[in-house]
Homo-oligomer: A and B are copies of this chain.
Amino acid sequence: MVRRRLTGGGALLVASFGVFAAAPRARARTEPVFPADYRSWVHVKSALVGPRSPAFATEGGIHHVYANHLALQGLRAGSFPDGSVLVYDLLATEEQAGITTEGPRRRVDVMTKDTRSNPGSAGWVFERYLGDDRDAGTLTTEERAACFACHSNRQSHDHVFSEFRP
């Protein structure tokens, strides 16, 4: 696993092998790490965004939402404990003879609840990984703020749009 840290304006890649031989450097804040095991998490729901949607350019394809076990508690309670992580997995689609199947991954969005590190956004921090990349989160501070602004429309559900489909 590779953990990405933003230091000033640049990005620093630090290999993480579970045990560090040297002491880790001090960090100003906790950056989200790609949840490598999210494909084994609970599948919350799915939807398909087609060419007739105004959101097609950015959201076109099939998306699946996954929740870790803490986020699953949150989905049921309507309030998410620290450590909750939700993943929005967006795949391009291919249609053949009326059957739409999953194509290449467009991106993965991750929202993580960490109240101590993100008091200004109700504890949530947002990150985005393009294609199958799992190392280099791409969101700027401004884009994260935009994520939170939109998710604030769901303040009644602790800023999470999805609801668990039984």
Contacts and interface: CB of A to CB of B under 8 A. Distances in A.
A23 interface: no
A52 interface: yes
Interface string A37-67: 0011011011111111111100000101010
Interface stretch (A13-21, A97-105, A113-121, A140-148): A97-105
A166 interface: yes
Contacts of A25: none
Closest 10 CB pairs of A and B: A53-B98, A52-B98, A43-B43, A48-B100, A50-B98, A47-B101, A53-B99, A40-B42, A49-B99, A46-B46
Given A46-B62, A48-B99, A52-B98, 9 more contacts: A39-B42, A46-B46, A47-B102, A48-B48, A48-B100, A49-B99, A50-B99, A52-B97, A53-B98
